Amino acid sequence: MAIISNILNVLITILVFFSIIIIHEFGHFFTAKLFGMKIYEFSIGMGPRLFSKTTKTTTWSFKLLPVGGSVQLGEDFESTDPDDFRNKPVWQRMIVIVAGAAMNLLLGFAVCIVSICAGNAIATTKISVLTDDSVSAQVMRVDDEIVEMGGMAIWTTTDISYCLQNRAAEIDEQNGIAYVNTTVLRNGERVQLKVPFRYFPERTETDSQGIKVDFKVYPQEKNFFTVINAAGRLFLSEARLIWISLIDLVTGTYGINDLSGPIGVVSTMATTLGESIQLMSFSSFLMMIALITINLGIFNLLPIPALDGARFVFLLVEAIRRKPIPAEKEGWVHFIGFAALMLLMVVVTFNDIVKLFGQ
């Protein structure tokens, strides 16, 4: 039964993963249709076709490598067909290019709403309980509202967890204490504190490695306005954490071995889904879906050759210059970028396989 359950979890996860890709490509597809552009192919995956079906104007394809998708719109630089992408007004092409990422971001926000609605109440950042053994009670009080930790603005309890694990100002391993610079709202005034927390340098049977949260926060009643507000804060929090991770990757805080490709993502999602089913709470799985689709939206908007962000930059330059970049130059830029991304994907996928079979 456990094997069947694991297989079902993986299949459900793959379906969710492909749905995120389809929604991205649907953004390109829908806006292209809106502007009367010809759509030659709508494909999920990359590489050789596994199967396809051709209608009057479009070929629908499923390809071998599950690492993305594409919508072919007639981007031949020498095309004379007025309905091809290349011959449409530049502002329409700009909208089509960003529509895929926009759909992912909208999906991320929608999943945040569902996650909030699925919970019993909305968690605030205002402290409701400090127990007698709470180390942080040395300086914090009930009704303190946490607004900043480690120099980062606090919007959600997820931000609190992240800051406690990553932004400790000082760690006293000998006494098992970590100090976090924290700003709270106390009686309407901002108060700066150096808050102590219990610190566990190694994982134990009762506590995970890192800082232990020793307080509880007030719940907030759910209604239309509080749900939208909470979902917005959650969405911005997830987007910020993704941006911080990208910066950490560029600056060397994280290495290439810390990256995950499709295999790693599916494996992690399947594990989270299994844990969610056992706990009868799908909040963690929903938040992972939100994280992945927001990540896909943000990553695609980066000005990296072969991604939508770089193509948007070329269109922006075209709009300013009132003439396109020479076709061969733009083509080479995207080709080199695509080759680099494929090489990175091979390396990351290899690492995913090593990690998977090394568990």
- Any idea which residues carry the catalytic annotation? 25
H or E element that contains 7: helix 2-34
Q: Give the span between the Cα atoms of 356 and 359, in whole angstroms.
A: 6
Q: Mutual orientation of helices 90-118 and 2-34 as an angle, nearest 10°?
A: 140
Residue with tokens 């989270």: 272
Residue 357 CA to residue 343 CA, distance in Å, equals 22
- Residue length of the chain: 359
Residue 179 sits at φ, ψ, to 5 deg, of -105, 135
What residues form DSSP beta bridges with 146? 184
Residue 215: which of 116, 122, 125, 121 has the closest Cα?
A: 125
- Per-residue tokens: 282: 């799908």
Distances (CA, A) of 39 to 56, 94, 196, 255, 284: 10, 16, 59, 39, 37
